[in-house]
Copies of this chain bind each other. A is one copy, B any other.
């Protein structure tokens, strides 16, 4: 359900589960993780493109996986996000349609994000009885400022590509259907850069925030696990599945 399209200096990863609006399962996170590892090891790879199939980015984590009990360590989602945050190869996201929950969270670990004008973002963690995860509690305010962060995370207010761009959360807005094309142009520009300078520079840009990010990952993971077991969350999941029937 993750399609990997190799290219000369760029690999494209497609989240491909259209029957569930590309909702992510543990198996899909593991596939993404492996694909990132391969890109990192390939010295000719100057860019990773991340996108979704069939007009959507991703509906976020498959909620049915939130209902099963969970161990103490990192979830496959978090293991993938740590990998994404640590990769030296620049990552470009191309967003069409809906990006929900972890589908928004992961954009914070990408270097370039292009979104179609009619794309819509939402972080409904609090209304599901949960909390921000994957670095959002630290990075969102750094990218979009604390005012947008409070609206998006505490109120769970959805936001458009235009609002995401104005606040600094994404790189640019494209016409509908052209986010992937725009991502490819940037990948081509990156392909002309000296690879070692590119990777070293990205590593330098991430260096200063690394420790604070690891601490955020950990603190969020622990509260998220606690929230998952809460009555507030389990009641919210039940309402979600009752509605879908």
Which B residues are in CB contact (< 8 Å) with A196? 129, 227, 230, 232
Q: Does A215 count as interface, using CB distance less than 8 angstroms? A: yes
A177-216 CB contacts (< 8 Å) to partner B:
186, 189-190, 192-194, 196-198, 200-202, 204-205, 207-208, 212, 215-216
Interface pair B194/A126, CB less than 8 Å apart: yes
A residues whose Cβ falls under 8 Å from a Cβ of B:
90, 111-113, 125-132, 137-138, 141-143, 145-151, 153-156, 167-171, 186, 189-190, 192-194, 196-198, 200-202, 204-205, 207-208, 212, 215-216, 219-220, 223, 226-227, 230, 232-233, 236
Interface pair B201/A153, CB less than 8 Å apart: yes
Using A127-B194, A146-B143, A201-B154 as known contacts, say yes or no to A137 and B171 having CB atoms under 8 A apart.
no
Q: Which residue of B lies closest to A164 (CB)?
A: B147
Interface pair B111/A150, CB less than 8 Å apart: yes
Query: Which of B126, B143, B145 is the one whose CB lies under 8 Å from A201?
Result: B126
5 A-B pairs with CB atoms under 8 Å apart are: A127-B197, A129-B196, A137-B201, A154-B198, A197-B232
Query: Which of B148, B190, B197, B236 is the one whose CB lies under 8 Å from A227?
Result: B197
Interface pair B142/A201, CB less than 8 Å apart: no
Query: Which of B137, B186, B197 is the one whose CB lies under 8 Å from A129?
Result: B197
Using A143-B146, A208-B138 as known contacts, say yes or no to A131 and B236 having CB atoms under 8 A apart.
no
Using A131-B200, A132-B204 as known contacts, say yes or no to A141 and B142 having CB atoms under 8 A apart.
yes
Which B residues are in CB contact (< 8 Å) with A131? 197, 200-201, 204
Which B residues are in CB contact (< 8 Å) with A142? 141-142, 146
A53 nearest CB across to chain B (Å): 25
Query: Which of B150, B192, B202, B232 is the one whose CB lies under 8 Å from A90?
Result: B150
Which B residues are in CB contact (< 8 Å) with A223? 200, 204
